[in-house]
Every structure is written in structure tokens, then in C-alpha cells.
Amino acid sequence: MNLEVENLRVYYRTLAGDVQALDGVTFGVGDGEIMGLAGESGCGKSTLGNAIISLTGRMKYIEGSVTLGSAELPIWDFDEMNHHRFNDLSIIPQYAMSAMNPTRKIGKMVGELLDSKGVRHKEYIPELKRRFELVGLSQDVLNMYPIELSGGMKQRAVMVISTLLDPSLLIADEITSALDVSTQKAVAEMLVEFRERGFVKSMIVITHDISILYQVADTILVMYAGKLAEKASADTIINSPRHPYTRLLISSLPEVGVTYTGKRLTGIAGTPPALLNPPEGCRFRDRCPFAYEKCLEEPPFVEIAPGHQTACWKEI
């Protein structure tokens, strides 16, 4: 395992109390694995991504451990994490345009970034140029301000910059969601290529679009209301999901290549519970058509088949 997360709990501090956004999650990401992380907004997927890389502001570390390679990450200590960020683990944020300093030329910005990490940036410039070339950006980009690049160029530049030091783990947070279908495909395939070329060892791809994950991810982890619902290979999650939430979610997605005349898909009734005071037991209980008395107790997240884990009493 490259990344191991053990019983991680992260809350948000609010005036009304703690929002239990990430409530005890345990999972691993193997060497060379692209793990997709899916779920509705507010399910904790971005919180999980952010918790691993930079716990800021209102986020409060409660308990749990994150191990990358053989070393435990001090995720509770923002300053200590500076030694790991960018070197060992990196993130591509959703809006690449706001990730770059508008007042610096891109080459200078990268230089400053590398210097701040104690790396002699001159040594990395040839490699940076090579990788820019690889994603279709010319060397001239180094002498440009971010405003001179188009949206897609910025996105690619950020992808290259954040993986420049070959981090062990890359977190891609909703990087395809604001794009057109064709660009989505290009960016998603580029992620896979980065892995093939060894720029990153493993990846967590966070998105609400599960069909993108089916295309690029090896495994998919589905979250619901701050907890893990199901994890399995991408094929299993799409073709034979076991958790009722995953099943309903997948059956509610319209597809091309299917004729819908007269046929109707159904959504999932209700809304996810508020995480300020989450209900006891299974958090999907109120929306679940299969719920029964046992669901008042919290289901454990256990393996039901090799490589397939889920948290549902009906499946255990």
C-alpha cells in the first residue's frame, strides 16, 4: 500500500458546533493505483482530499492516521506538512486559473516554488520544459503570465507543475467538472498518462461524475454523509454494486447509447442528513428502500468479497 488512512476523523468548527464531515474513514491506495472518490456534494470527499494534504482554517483534526509510503504524515501540523507537500504529495485544485499567481510569469513562479522547497530550481527547468512539451505547451509559456494562457493551457500547466517533483500521491479534486466533454476526456486521459510515465505513483481522483471514474480509475470509493459506503474495482462498482446508495446512484444516471422513449429513471428521494448532528446508525437509512431495524446500528465497513468492501447490514 502506498497510502493508508486509518480511522480518520476531521470536523469543521462552526458556531453551532462541530460538523462531522469526515467521520472515521479507513482505506488504502496501492502502488500505481488510481482511486476514484465519488459522492454527492457535502459527502466529505473534498474534505478527505484536503485533510490529507492541508488541514486549514475551520478544519479540526480529531483522530486517525495517514501513512504515505512508510512514514506517517503529520496532517494535524500545518507547518510540519510543508516538508511533504509538493515533494511527497500534491494536489491539482478544481480551478487551475486561480491556482496561479497572476502577477508572476509562470517560469518565475515555478522557480520561487522550487526554491521555497529547498530545491535548486535551475536543475529542474530542463525537465519542466520537457514535460510542458509533452502536454503541448511550448517553452515560451515560462515567460508568460497566467492571463496569457487559455483555460485548457492553464489546466495543463498546473498539472505539470504540481507533479514536477514526482510526488508519491496526487490528489485531483474535481478537475474535470467545469469542462466540456471533449476536454474532460483529454484531461482524464492525461491523468492516466502521468501515472504511466511515473510522474506520480498513485492518485486519488475526486469527482461527482462516476462515469469519468469508470473510464480512468482502477478502484472507486463511494462516500456518503462523511462515511465510506463502498469500495471495489471500478468494474464492480459500476456493474455489480452492493450498497443501496451506490446502486440507486448508478441506476439514476442517464446515458448515451440507450433509448429512453417511455422509460423513466428515478432519483434518490430525500436529502443527505445534516452532519451537525448526524443520525445514529446507518446514515443512508432514511433514504434507503431496504432499511430495517438493524440499520439503527451503525454498519461496519467490511470486506464482502475479495477487494470489495461495503457498509450495509443487508450485505454482510
Partner 1 sequence: MSGPQNDARDNGEAGLLKLDHVTKVYSTGTFGGGQLTAVRDVSFEVKPGEVMSVIGESGSGKSTIGKMILRLSPISSGTISFDGTDVSTLKRRALKEYRRDVQGVFQDPFSSYNPIFKADRVFAMVKSEFFPGTSGPEWRNKIGLALEAVTLDPTQVLHKYPHQLSGGQLQRLLIARALLLDIRFLVADEIISMLDASTRIDVLNLLADLKGRGLGIMFITHDLSLGNYISEKTVILRRGLIVEMGETQKVFGNPTHPYTKMLLASVPQLHHKWEEIAEGLKVPDSVVIDKEAAAKKTYETVSEILAPDADDSVLVETEPNHLVRFSPEEAREIEPAAVAGKTE
Find, among 68, 97, 89, the residue nearest to 169 by Cα.
Answer: 89
Q: Out of 62, 135, 144, 304, point to the residue binding partner 1 (CB under 8 A).
A: 135
CA distance linking residue 199 with residue 169, whole number of Å? 10
Burial class of residue 105 in the structure, from the number of CB atoms within 10 Å of its CB (0-12 exposed, 13-18 middle, 19+ buried): middle
186 touching partner 1, by CB under 8 A: yes
212-271 binders of partner 1 (CB under 8 A): 212, 214-215, 238-239, 248-250, 252-261, 264-268, 271
Residue number with CB closer to partner 1 (137 or 291): 137
CB 268 within 8 A of CB 282: no
Quick check: helix, strand or coil at residue 72? strand
Reduced to 3 states (helix: H, G, I; strand: E, B; else coil), residue 147 is: helix
How many residues sit close enough to partner 1 to count as binding (CB under 8 A)?
48
Helices (H), the chain: 45-53, 78-81, 106-116, 121-134, 151-162, 181-196, 210-216, 234-239, 244-251
What is the smallest separation between the CB atom of 218 and partner 1, expressed in angstroms?
13
Interface with partner 1 in residues 140-169 (CB under 8 A): 150-152, 156
Least CB distance from residue 98 to partner 1, whole Å? 17
Distance CA 46, CA 66 (A): 16
Binding-site member from 113, 210, 295, 312 for partner 1 (CB under 8 A): 210
Q: Does 108 bind partner 1 (CB under 8 A)?
A: no
Q: How far is the CB of 38 from partner 1 (least distance, A)?
A: 9
Q: Does the protein bind partner 1 through residue 1 (CB under 8 A)?
A: no
- Name the site residues for partner 1 (rule: CB under 8 A): 40-41, 134-137, 150-152, 156, 180-186, 188-190, 208-212, 214-215, 238-239, 248-250, 252-261, 264-268, 271
